[in-house]
Amino acid sequence: MENEILHSERLLLRRWEESDAEELFKIASDPDVGPRAGWEVHRSVEESREVIRRIFSNETTWAIVCKETKLIVGCIGYFTHATSNIPIGENDCEVGYWVAKPFWNQGICTEALRLLLHHCLCVKHFKEIWADHFIGNPASARVLEKCGFRDTGLLNRCSHLLGGDKDMVRVMRLETHGKTF
């Protein structure tokens, strides 16, 4: 697996390690975080370790780390055509992210997403980039809009996400014309 580390002014995106399980549990056990992103609250450090092993240990997922404190503050990554929630082209990807509640409204998701978008466009050369967010999570919509995503008018159900059978997600697409990241 590539060990790419992406840097911005305040953040670095690095690969998850099993030793991150305690830190992940601290932020993923908050009941206000997981359900907004479509996953259940973590109930133990061992469950967090298993999530790192089964879900986060790949070439498309990074821990969001604050450079100043060295703390993990969230997670970000992309899904390919084969793993996306939504119908995307074979040369496209879907991005997703979440950040711990103490770091909400600080521009962290926007900064991390811009880093990931640069990687997806300039390194991976995806043709189009897609995203979705639960309709009841307007903060996620604002992050996407700040990064150039526009509403496609499509709504989708994502049965593999917590709440995805009953709550609709809004599908958005990145407008790349003239954008630099």
Q: State the CATH number of the domain containing residue 29.
A: 3.40.630.30
Q: Is residue 142 part of a domain?
A: no
DSSP 55-84: II-STTEEEEEETTT--EEEEEEEEETTT-
Beta carbons within 8 Å of 19's beta carbon, 6+ residues apart: none
- Tell me if 62 is assigned to some domain: yes
Let me know: does 181 contact 117? Beta carbons within 8 Å.
yes
Kindly state whether residue 47 falls inside one of the protein's structural domains: yes
Domain enclosing residue 99, as ranges:
6-129
Count of domains for the chain? 1
Inside any domain, residue 100:
yes
pLDDT in tens, the chain (181 residues): 456 899 999 999 999 999 999 999 999 999 888 766 667 888 999 999 999 999 999 999 999 999 999 999 999 999 998 888 788 899 999 999 999 999 999 999 999 999 999 999 999 999 999 998 877 778 888 999 999 999 888 766 554 444 444 566 788 899 776 555 5
Q: Does 94 fall in a domain?
A: yes
Q: Is residue 69 part of a domain?
A: yes
The predicted model scores a pTM of: 0.88
